[in-house]
Structure 1
Amino acid sequence: MRLDDIQIRDPFVLFDGDTGRYHLFGSTDENIWSGPATGFDTYWSDDLDEWHGPTAAFRPTPDFWSHTQYWAPEVHRYGDAFYMFATFTAEGQRRGTQVLRADRPEGPYAPWSDGPLTPREWECLDGTLHVEDGTPYLVFCHEWKDVGDGEVQAIRLTDDLRGTVGDPVLLFRASEAPWARSIERPEFPRVFVTDGPSMHRAADGRLLMLWSSFGDQGYAMGVATSRSGSIAGPWTQAEQPIWAADGGHGMIFADAAGGLYLTLHTPNRTPDERARFFPLEETDEGLRLKD
């Protein structure tokens, strides 16, 4: 099948150098917004054009704490295993990011952390792994539903990725981006969304972060840069989004030859969302889509 055949949001691509295969993950339930969740599926390809699958990457057991709204799985190789960071929710509990583990990139994945690693009293989503000088961090979104002006936060993880160390640290708020626009919600006078943080270490050492919100033309994705080169920041925001209209929640991956690609979903409506790949290059200003 081709990408046009695969309904998927929040795409994440992992290249497995051992097999030469690309693995595509994402929010793959037919209706991710409500009703019972099935789990996460994955697809694989040798060339980024023809895809195979789906295969079941994660299926919950009957006693799993969450049974609805399974979002944004990312898979990272860490040590000798593969770890999935994914968003879950349940009635009476706050949404959060939990870690799952598998021996192979395609899974099957089983719960690794004891529930979400994001603060249990916060509404959180879209956690991603960032490793800096050997220390793992969880970078995640503290939702507008709690704070109005959505936040990107980071918290240190234990070396086994099963727990956290210390308290979360605020990296930035959505309204700090010149391109971000508020959306109308009754809970707050102004609401700014933060979605899908994804880290990228540039060849020159700069630490960049992709993240999504709403701009002048709908769902969009921008780039933030850490001036220190560290997760601690301070973070500065690009003036204009790298993707401006009706798409976002992306990440950067390298192909077998080392070429960079941006993947994101567009359009931003269910059931029409599809993954798209765009050649990408690093510039002195940050990142640029190739013509």
Structure 2
Amino acid sequence: MSAPGSARPTSFPLRMPRMPLHDPYVVADAESGLYHLYTAAQGLGTGVGTMVYRSENLRDWAEPVPVFLVDDQDEPWARHGAWAPEVHRWKDAWYLFTTLHDEDAVLEVPPPDRYGLPVPLPGHRRSTVTAVADSLTGPFRMLKPEAPILPAELMTLDGTLFVDDEGRPWMVYANEWLQRVDGTVEAFPLTEGLDAVAGAAVMLFKGSDAAWITRELPAGVPYQLAPYVTDGPQLYRTPSGALVCLWSTYEKNRASGGRIDGEYVQTYAVAASGALEGPWAQGEPLVRGDSGHGMLFTDFEGRLMMVLHRPFTNARGKLYEMELSDEGLRVVRQCTELDGDA
């Protein structure tokens, strides 16, 4: 079965200011000479799922086509969400990671002492699923439609594939702040078939480990009014073998009427050891201005690039040239000639 958009595009009429792009993810496919930019299906009238834009130059994009639709799966455990799609090559196929949620499956409140913190809300089931296809344009089929891959009691958002030095696959994900107050980034071991291995998660770091998040909070603000969000993890190796983890959160900047207002930011952490267990050192934010959920890729000219969305609501894609060194990650410049931002 071929995907509706499997043929090579002949027209590239779109620029990023016209493209709804929440949680963007780019695959630079040298074989086709096309960049594939994945996001949640929006405006296609096809239902919940994932769509892809394609481009030859990162500036001009073809109309999006669906590559994964929840309603086409065999009795899926959830039919909502499809957040934060990513597509990875593993073995001889392409694998889609995306987060589904089931509002009817209310989760039990976990013990408050897992990380020594109270829990504000029970929340409902949210979990990253995996789906496979022979092509970057799908159609992607869920590997395990009947149940979440990872333990169903955990809210495992924004899962990404990480392969360690021994070639073992892991899912790295954000454990939702709704469960933890202090959200975490964790890793769970997978089988060769990308199913969960029996065992426990490895915690990389907590949201509160980034001390700058609450730097501007007034003294005496109760901890419960300042939850620490973690989302959008992606791991990348430095030239020396250290690990860099992109992630996003909210920088808290004031308390008003019992509510914390903050700004979405793109940040990162570094594990100099190169091990998932760390220890992880938190960097300063890379991009502010209500920007985040970024990911790194290398373009066809060999430049390291980052794509993210801004603003959080009614999001559009923004592109940055980046520099990765043993000291960490930095923004070289925003590529305004590509993303249409003045």
TM-score (norm. length: structure 2): 0.78
Distance verdict in 2 for CA 1:123–1:37, change over 3 Å: farther
Q: Deviations over 1:147-180 (max 9, x none)?
A: 1000111111001113334211111100000222
Per the TM alignment, residue 9 of structure 1 is displaced from its structure 2 partner at its CA by 0.5
Unpaired runs of 5+ residues, structure 1, are: none
Q: Which residue of 2 aligns with 1:179?
A: 212
More off after superposition, 106-115 vs 207-216:
106-115
Per the TM alignment, residue 111 of structure 1 is displaced from its structure 2 partner at its CA by 0.3
Q: How does 1:150-161 map to 2 (within 5 A)?
A: 150-161=183-194
Whether 1:7 aligns to 2:20 is yes
Whether 1:211 aligns to 2:247 is yes
Q: Which residue of 2 aligns with 1:241?
A: 285
Whether 1:21 aligns to 2:21 is no
Work out which of the residue numbers 237, 246, 254 in structure 1 matches 2:298: 254
Work out which of the residue numbers 176, 179, 186 in structure 2 matches 1:146: 179
Q: Return the letter of the residue paired with 2:81.
A: Q
Paired with 1:187 and 1:72, the residues of 2 have a C-alpha distance of: 29
Q: Contact between 1:158 and 1:165, CA under 8 Å: does it hold in 2?
A: no
Whether 1:193 aligns to 2:229 is yes
Paired with 2:244 and 2:233, the residues of 1 have a C-alpha distance of: 10
Per the TM alignment, residue 68 of structure 1 is displaced from its structure 2 partner at its CA by 1.6
Q: Contact between 1:26 and 1:73, CA under 8 Å: does it hold in 2?
A: yes
Q: Which residue of 1 aligns with 2:68?
A: 58
Per the TM alignment, residue 189 of structure 1 is displaced from its structure 2 partner at its CA by 4.3
After TM superposition, the runs of 4+ consecutive aligned structure 1 residues lying more than 6 A away are none
More off after superposition, 114-123 vs 75-84:
114-123
Work out which of the residue numbers 130, 134, 141 in structure 2 matches 1:103: 134
Paired with 2:59 and 2:225, the residues of 1 have a C-alpha distance of: 45
Paired with 2:164 and 2:305, the residues of 1 have a C-alpha distance of: 22
More off after superposition, 172-181 vs 134-143:
172-181
Q: Return the letter of the residue paired with 2:245.
A: M
CA-atom RMSD in angstroms: 2.2
Q: Contact between 2:292 and 2:308, CA under 8 Å: does it hold in 1?
A: yes
Q: Return the letter of the residue paired with 1:283.
A: S
Higher strand share: 1
Q: Which residue of 1 aligns with 2:323?
A: 281
Q: Deviations over 1:95-121 (max 9, x none)?
A: 001101110012111101353223211
Q: Deviations over 1:71-112 (max 9, x none)?
A: 000000111100011100012331001101110012111101
Q: Contact between 1:181 and 1:214, CA under 8 Å: does it hold in 2?
A: no
Name which one, 1 or 2, has greater alpha-carbon Rg.
Answer: 2
Paired with 1:95 and 1:212, the residues of 2 have a C-alpha distance of: 18
Per the TM alignment, residue 17 of structure 1 is displaced from its structure 2 partner at its CA by 1.9
Paired with 1:246 and 1:266, the residues of 2 have a C-alpha distance of: 6
Per the TM alignment, residue 8 of structure 1 is displaced from its structure 2 partner at its CA by 1.3
TM-score (norm. length: structure 1): 0.91
Q: Which residue of 2 aligns with 1:78?
A: 90
| SS of alignment partner, residue 246 of structure 1 | coil
Paired with 1:98 and 1:6, the residues of 2 have a C-alpha distance of: 25
